[in-house]
Amino acid sequence: MVLQLSHITKFYKFGKHKQLVLNDLSINFPRFGLVAVVGKSGSGKSTLLNLIAGIEKPSNGKVLIDGRELNYSQIDKYQQSYISYVYQFYNLIESLTVYENLILLSEIKGRTVSLNYLKTITERLKITPLLDCFPSELSGGQKQRVGLARAFLCNTPILLADEPTGALNELLASEVMEFLRFYAKKHLVIVISHNYQLITKYSKMIIDLDSHQNNYNFDQETRYHKYLYQQVSSPLIKIKFYLKRQLLYQKKKIVMMFCSQLFTIIAFVLLLSGINGGWNYINTCLKSNPIKEIIEISKKDYNEINFTDKQINVLKNDSLVTSLNYKLDFSFGIFKTDQELQLESYQVHDSDYIEYLNGKFPSQNNQIMINQETAHKYSLDINDKLYFIIDENTYYLSVSAIIKDYINNGTNIYFSDKFIDLDLKDKITNKSILIIKSKYFKQLSKKYEHDYFIINVHQDYLDSYQTLFEMALMVVICFLIISFIISLILISIILKTILIERKRDISLMLSNGLPLNKARKLFSQETSLIGSIIGFLGSVLAELLLRIINMLNISDKLFNLPNLFILPKLMISSYDIYIIMIFVYTSACFGVGVLSSLQISKMNTSILLKED
Ligand X SMILES: Nc1ncnc2c1ncn2[C@@H]1O[C@H](COP(=O)(O)OP(=O)(O)OP(=O)(O)O)[C@@H](O)[C@H]1O
Interacting residue ranges for ligand X, rule: CB under 6 A: 12, 21, 39, 41-47, 606-607
For the bound state, the minimum distance from the C-beta of residue 12 to ligand X, rounded and expressed in Å, comes to 4
d(CA 460, CA 92): 72
Smallest distance, Å, CB 47 to ligand X?
3
* Angle, alpha carbons 181-187-188 (nearest 5°): 85
Query: Toward ligand X, which CB reaches closer, 45 or 245?
Result: 45
d(CA 437, CA 548): 44
8 Å CB contact between 86 and 148: yes
Return the number of the residue (41 or 136) whose C-beta is nearest ligand X: 41
Nearest to 107 by CA among 235, 291, 278, 271: 235
In whole angstroms, how close is the CB of 20 to ligand X at the nearest point? 9
Looking only at the bridges linking them, the beta strands covering 367-371 and 339-340 are: unpaired
Report, in Å, the least distance between residue 603 CB and ligand X.
12
CB of 102: closest distance to ligand X in angstroms? 25
User: At a CB cut-off of 8 Å and minimum separation 6, what does 572 contact?
Assistant: none
CB contact at 8 A, 570 and 581: no
Q: Which is nearer to ligand X, 21 or 180 (CB)?
A: 21
| 402: β partners | 358, 370
Q: How is residue 184 annotated by DSSP?
A: T
DSSP 150-172: HHHHH--SEEEEESTTTTS-HHH
Minimum CB distance to ligand X smaller for 45 or for 504: 45
Q: Which is nearer to ligand X, 46 or 246 (CB)?
A: 46
Smaller CB separation from ligand X, 44 or 531: 44
Q: How far is the CB of 253 from ligand X (least distance, A)?
A: 30
Cα separations (Å) of 16 from 19, 42, 311, 430, 606? 10, 21, 99, 101, 22
- Provide the β-strand partners of residue 335: 340, 387
Q: Select from 413, 398, 404 the least CA-distant residue to 363.
A: 398
- Least separation, in Å, of the C-beta of 95 and ligand X? 26
SS3 label, residue 33: strand
Alpha-carbon distance of 575 to 252, in angstroms, equals 28
Indicate the residue among 20 and 570 with the shorter CB distance to ligand X.
20
Write 169-176 long-range contacts (CB < 8 A, 24+). Answer: 169/141, 172/126, 172/141, 172/145, 173/198, 174/198, 175/124, 176/125, 176/145, 176/148
Which residue, 349 or 504, is less far from ligand X as judged by CB? 504
What is the nearest approach in angstroms of ligand X to the Cβ of residue 93?
Answer: 22
| Closest CB 600 distance from ligand X, rounded Å | 17
C-beta of 269: minimal distance to ligand X in Å? 51
What is the CB neighbour count within 10 angstroms for residue 543?
A: 17
> Which is closer to ligand X, CB of 15 or CB of 129?
15
CB 278 within 8 Å of CB 561: yes
Q: Which is nearer to ligand X, 340 or 611 (CB)?
A: 611
